Amino acid sequence: MKLIQTSDLHLSASNDKEYGLGVLREIFQTAEKNEVVTILLCGDIFDTYSDLEALRTAFIEESKQFSGKIYFLPGNHEALRRKGSENGYGKFDWGTQIQVIDGEPYELISLNEEIEILGIPHQENYGRLLTGNPPVKKAKFRIGMAHATVSGMSFAGINNEEEDGGILDSNQLQSLNCDYVAVGHIHSARSQVFGNCEIAYAGSSRVWRKGETGPRQGYLLEIKNNRIQKSPLVWEKAGQFREVNIDLALDGKPEKNPEFYFEGFGPNDWVYIRWNGYVEDMNPKKDFELQLLKEWKPKFRTMDFDKEESGLRLISGIQENAFIKRFVEEMEKRKAGEDPKTWERMKRLGFEMLLSGKN
């Protein structure tokens, strides 16, 4: 039996609508191709409550490419901009294929003798999970679904990755007799085993913000050899966040042509460009930037530039400095034998020392 775990697609009616729906389409098509019987959508599939209202019909239409069952557990973003008078998600018609899990503190759903789903919707406080005895486990495996930050797991992702939301304790999940818990909310993939329970984030299904590097993915879960096995499924339509460092020579011109910097990039990538170097004139950089915007930006989902330009320094007369010129010549001789990042740090440190008058 096969399932797919995915989350944090952040479908938006006003921001990259077609991009998001393209990733959603790939998820359903991949599930059908792999003969998956159930898809677990672990929250933040829609970016806001108003996006859920606007894109629900499109979501249902895309789901028809998949013949199995879909379990949708709303996250904290589905509740954004929801007015007090609006009473949740059950009022919408989701059809027979899609089942929304929003009953607190949890909902227990039996798929068959092999698997049951314990859905824990996003809550500000998960204390009610322990107010009674855990439900009796009737299937061979109990798979939890949640959307939260799980305490006890190590998070070392980008800044502010842990957004507002409730904290779910790993001990709570163990006490509920879960064998595996599919969790959304954290945008980088990671997993950890606590006792007999594996807790796993598949990461975001799309590049939602700057700094989310690496492939976007979900997990294929398969009951095999008397255990739950997971393997990554990369969503190609999501693209990647690509940070590009463009080094400028003393005259302000880039050291490489655009093809060098963008080799292997795809149409759904988010390209973020940083400028580095000590230059005498900014105009060549400006001309190159205009060329990129005209000829290359249309090839990608988006292209941004580091507006602070913290890696760039303008120094008048730098090309006439004999020490600087000699240093650049020597560094170029060493470039082939050094790690690129180490070489760049050496070069930057050398410039700093020479410009400050040190030996």
Q: How deeply is 191 buried, as exposed, middle or buried, from its count of CB atoms within 10 A (0-12, 13-18, 19+)?
A: middle
Q: Tokens 């009473």 belong to which residue? A: 87
Q: What is the pLDDT of residue 349?
A: 81
Cα separation values, 89 from 82, 106, 255, Å? 10, 15, 54
Q: What is the pLDDT of residue 358?
A: 55
Q: What is the pLDDT of residue 165?
A: 59
Q: With a cut of 50, which residues of the chain have pLDDT below it?
A: 158-160
Cα separation values, 193 from 29, 32, 125, 315, Å? 30, 29, 23, 54
Q: What is the pLDDT of residue 63?
A: 97
Q: What is the pLDDT of residue 81?
A: 79
CB distance 237 to 22 below 8 Å: yes
* Residue type at 237 in one-letter notation: K
Q: What is the pLDDT of residue 130?
A: 73
User: Domains (ranges, CATH) in the chain?
Assistant: 2-238 (3.60.21.10), 241-355 (no CATH)
Tens of pLDDT along 136-161? Answer: 999 999 999 999 999 878 665 544 45
Q: What is the pLDDT of residue 110?
A: 95
Tens of pLDDT along 50-104? Answer: 999 999 999 999 999 999 999 999 999 998 877 766 667 878 999 999 999 998 8
Q: How far is Cα 249 from Cα 267, in angstroms, rounded to an integer?
A: 29
CB distance 58 to 88 below 8 Å: no
